[in-house]
Structure 1
Amino acid sequence: MGKSDNKNIEKKSNEESYENKNKVPVTDKPGKLTQEEMDEIDNSSQSKVMLIASLAKKLGLGLGSDLSQVEYPSAFIAPYSTLNFFTTNFSNNFNILLRANKIENEIDRLLEVFKYSTTVHIIPEDCMKVPLNAVVGETQCSNFHTQDLNDPNNIIKDNYYISEQVSEVPPNVATCVYNKKEGVKALFNHESKIVFQITNVKSPTTGKKCVRFEKLNEEYDIEFPVLHSRFMRGFVEYCGEGHVKSNKSKPYITTNFLAKPLIGGHYNSYEAKVYNGVDSKPIFKINGQWDGDSKITDCKTNETKPFFKKGSNVSNYTPDILNTDSTNVWKSIIQSVAEGKSINLAREKSKIIDYQKTLDWKPSQFFLNDQIGAWEPNLFQE
């Protein structure tokens, strides 16, 4: 048995020890820390794992507790807005959809949409920290340029994204990446929870997630896996089943994002099966790592070849800084951190949120489309 195996067994033992020693009553609604309790945690020299144990006890956390509205000490706050998760990451490979828009074959087009869907998953830099909760009406939007995958010498410039916090309780972020000229848009509504699981935290999301090709009058529904922050093991991963399905054509794809085993295995692995919509058996199988290389196998011939390698194809971002932009909302925190100043993130965050609530903001860039049960950008409102 190698050193890495010993470490994994040790981590499992630590998880079991943590879970047994730090059991707390099951509660859906966590308590609230006093400023003194926050300062005590921030000034502690204990490890982050032990601080989480202390935090859990003070808040009265139990299996299934919702952490979405918890006020965290500075030690657990990342100095950027939650909207950062829903902007550039969704646009980095948007040109895959622009290429798919010109593909006539239903299966080939489906495969391109699936490729794009694997590029939008987000891994936080630090699994022990949560970003600043965006306030209702907070926005991020930008124009961006991307390479034409059908003509590498051509740069497609009229692409845009817009993201807005449309609800505070429950937290809901609406994001749209689009090219109106080409009639292509990717729409994501992320109504999320942060659920305490004793040795990890999971973040399931609900809400419409789709890709639409206006010229083809076709829409693909995308179901995402669940984000798990495994703080005891020091990493974040996506796990669970999903799919990509068209409202017009029969072919569809089912997905299974795999948890990293304690011993061996790979990070960010997934398996997918492609069906023609007629036969019960898949016609292709895809496997690999969504943040790296993946391969596709023809189930009839058993031939395997490279499928996709994730990259970034955006060459230029030109942000449209509205008054409601994240950089304005959280300006004092973002500036202080950028300048290396020592500040109490929790206190500054609380001050900003209290001030923002006096402004009584409402969603200004998105409207609730009752026909599809989702938030869409105003520019698509007829």
Structure 2
Amino acid sequence: MSDSKSVSSVASAKSSSSKSSSSKSSSSKSSTPKSTVSEPVGNIVPASQSGDFMSFLKTVLSFTGDLSSLTCPSFLLNGISLLEYGAHWSDYPHVLAEITKAESSPERMKLVARWFISTLYGSYNKRVAESNTGEKKPFNPILGEQFLASWDDSEYGETTFVCEQVSHHPPVSAIYFENAKAGIYGNGQFAQKSKFKGTTMKVVQEGRVTLRMRNTDEVFCLSLPSLNICSILSGKPFLEMSNTTFIRSSKGYSAEFHWHTKPWLYGEYHKFDGSIFRDPSALYSPNAPAQEPLFTVKGKWVAESTVTDVKTSSQSVLFDVAAQPSADIKIRPVSEQSELESRRVWNAVAQAIESGDYETASREKTVIEEAQRALRKERAERSETWTPALFKWIADEDDESDVRDAYAYLYPAKDSIGKGSWVYKNSIHELDRANSTGSSTGTGTPFEDAVSEA
């Protein structure tokens, strides 16, 4: 069952201070940074909290499990829920929508790669680059928490986004984004497992994103990069990406990206390279003889990257952060949000953090967490199984053959993609399927459907 009361006894009371939280709700402006900062200048630890920071570091350094289970001091929190990070998959709605203009599979793959790079900048660097502050920890979403947003584009109209926390142990966030005018949409999920190694926090991201378009039957399946949170001991943490990620299309085209961390004594931050190639094989194998290279890509995922046509050697810009302004995100005021929406759930905590009242922030955060423990206990006593309101699980063996085959191709190289997908119940292809059988119940508008389900 879906527990819609979740934090009503807590969050509703907390939103008495919701006034407007306008600086963080109705319309958060996003701007293109004049320059991208490799490392933040400011120390994220207030002078008054240096003792608590050292105590926390001692705990982290001696901890052997998943760091997400540790309680983080409120002065190290950034004041937003992890669910909001998922919205960066739609930061550049025109970049997403323009994929549908490509007339061939290789050109579509190139534009999907361009869009993928744009999502990474938004997810993992933009907020730090624009504020020049260090990387801080987001709130761990409560079970059933939702985040809803939209973006307007003069050419492509509205892009909508829905995210729901579909699992708490392990923590899993499911996302859905859609531009109805362009006919492009995607489902996905992400989860993180983190540990401290040396002086760096290593974060393995588990999950996938499946991209579809109405003007073609081609499906694109994406894996996620690993993350390194660096310079934690100095109090100036920043993020780098590492490892390898892939995109696989159902037409047999693939993209492979290698994310490079800065070497100890030389080199630069945030570099990557990769290639786009045709591969008729059923399973991925590095440098397989059948792979036909089409394009190479390289650059900095926080700045500019280029793509080169292998046959002609012609080079062009893949994605340029400085030249591509992100769209303004639109979020309803806290006072208009449901009791499960992120900024209403965490409103009191976020306001206390913003004002530097870390004692109040910790207290309000504890109230929310204790309420969640009580709810889990109540469900256990009633032998009730919680189910998400907005998403459903589809195992790969039960999915469409194109999706199943694409992820089967990737799995040997990237088992962190898992073997199934969280799918928005009213995503376009689900509604199309339901309409064909006469069983459709959704409006087809993600924002309206999510609000009605809350």
Task: Report the TM-score when normalising by structure 1.
Answer: 0.77
Deviations 1:301-360 (A, max 9, x none): 433333321333424525373221111111211233345545343332121111244456
Counterpart of 1:312 (choices 322, 325, 328) is 325
**8 Å Cα contact 2:79/2:354 also seen in 1:** no
Whole-angstrom distance in 1 between the partners of 2:304 and 2:151: 26
The equivalent residue for 2:112 is: 113
Number of residue pairs aligned between Structure 1 and Structure 2? 329
Is the Cα contact below 8 Å between 2:294 and 2:311 reproduced in 1? yes
Give the Cα separation in 1 of the matches to 2:369 and 2:259.
36
Look up the SS of the partner of 1:212 in the other structure: strand
Mapped contact 1:77–1:346 kept (Cα < 8 A): no
1:137 to 132, 144, 149: 144
Out of 293, 308, 321, the position equivalent to 1:297 is: 308
Percent identity of paired positions between Structure 1 and Structure 2: 22
Kindly state the Cα deviation for residue 374 of structure 1 after the two structures are TM-superposed.
Answer: 1.5
Q: Which runs of 5+ in 2 are unaligned?
A: 1-38, 40-45, 281-289, 377-385, 400-419, 435-454
Contact 1:42 1:74 in 2 (8 A): no
AA in 2 matched with 1:363: P
The code of the aligned residue for 1:228 comes to N
SS of residue paired to 1:101: helix
Alignment partner of 2:425 out of 355, 378, 382: 378
Give the structure with the higher percent strand. 1
Residue number in structure 2 paired with 1:258: 260
Q: Deviations over 1:354-381 (max 9, x none)?
A: 1244456752222223434221222234
Residues 165 and 173, structure 1, Cα contact 8 Å, conserved in 2: yes
Q: 2:60 aligns with which of 56, 59, 62?
A: 56
Task: Tell me the equivalent position of 2:383.
Answer: none
Change (3 A) 1:275 1:195: same
**Cα separation, 1, equivalents of 2:349 and 2:138:** 12
- Measured after TM superposition, the shift of residue 142 of structure 1 is 2.1
Three-state SS of the structure 2 residue aligned to 1:135 is coil
Instruction: Please give the residue correspondences for 1:94-173 in structure 2 after superposition, counting only pairs within 5 Å.
Output: 94-121=93-120, 122-123=123-124, 125=128, 129-147=136-154, 154=155, 156-173=156-173
1:275 Cα deviation after fit: 1.1
Quote the residue 1:81 is aligned against: 81
Q: What's the Cα RMSD here?
A: 2.8
Q: Contact conserved, 1:72 with 1:346, CA < 8 A, in 2?
A: no
Rounded to whole Å, the distance in 2 between the matches of 1:133 and 1:316 is 22
CA distance in 2, matches of 1:308, 1:129: 26
The counterpart of 2:390, out of the listed 347, 361, 365, is: 365
Note closer, same or farther for the CA distance 1:42–1:79 as it changes in structure 2 (3 Å cut): farther
Q: Which residue of 2 aligns with 1:240?
A: 243
Distance across 2 between alignment mates of 1:323 and 1:223: 32
Higher helix share: 2
Give the conservation status (yes or no) of the 8 Å contact 1:135–1:356: yes
With over 3 angstroms needed to count, the CA separation of the structure-2 counterparts of 1:303 and 1:142, relative to structure 1, is closer
SS at match of 1:239: strand
Q: Residue 19 of structure 1 corresponds to which residue in structure 2?
A: none
Find the aligned partners of 1:316 and 1:334 in 2 and give their Cα distance: 19
Q: Which runs of 5+ in 1 are unaligned?
A: 1-7, 9-40, 148-153
Partner of 1:330: 346
Contact 2:57 2:233 survives alignment (8 Å): no
Deviation of the 1:172 alpha carbon:
0.2
- SS of 2:291's partner is coil
Look up the equivalent residue of 2:184 and give its one-letter code. V
Q: 2:50 aligns with which of 45, 60, 66?
A: 45
> Is the aligned partner of 1:271 residue 2:273?
yes
Kindly indicate whether structure 1 or structure 2 has the higher relative contact order, using CA contacts under 8 Å at least 6 residues apart.
2
Q: How does 1:201-240 map to 2 (within 5 A)?
A: 201-230=201-230, 231-232=232-233, 234-240=237-243
Deviation of the 1:232 alpha carbon: 4.4
Contact kept? 2:74, 2:358, Cα under 8 Å? no
1:64-111 per-residue CA deviation (whole Å, 9 max, x = no partner) reads: x21122112234333221112111x11112322311113211111110
Paired residue type of 2:330: Y
Distance 2:179 2:278 in 1: 29
Cα distance change, pair 128–160 in 1 and its aligned pair in 2 (3 A): closer
In structure 2, relative to structure 1, the CA distance for the partners of 1:100 and 1:235 (3 Å cut) is: same
Q: Secondary structure at the match of 2:210?
A: strand
Instruction: Determine helix, strand or coil for the equivalent of 1:55.
Output: helix
The residue identity in structure 1 corresponding to 2:264 is L
Specify whether residues 218 and 321 from structure 1 end up closer, same or farther in structure 2 by C-alpha distance, changes over 3 A only: farther
Cα distance between partner residues in 1 of 2:150 and 2:340: 17
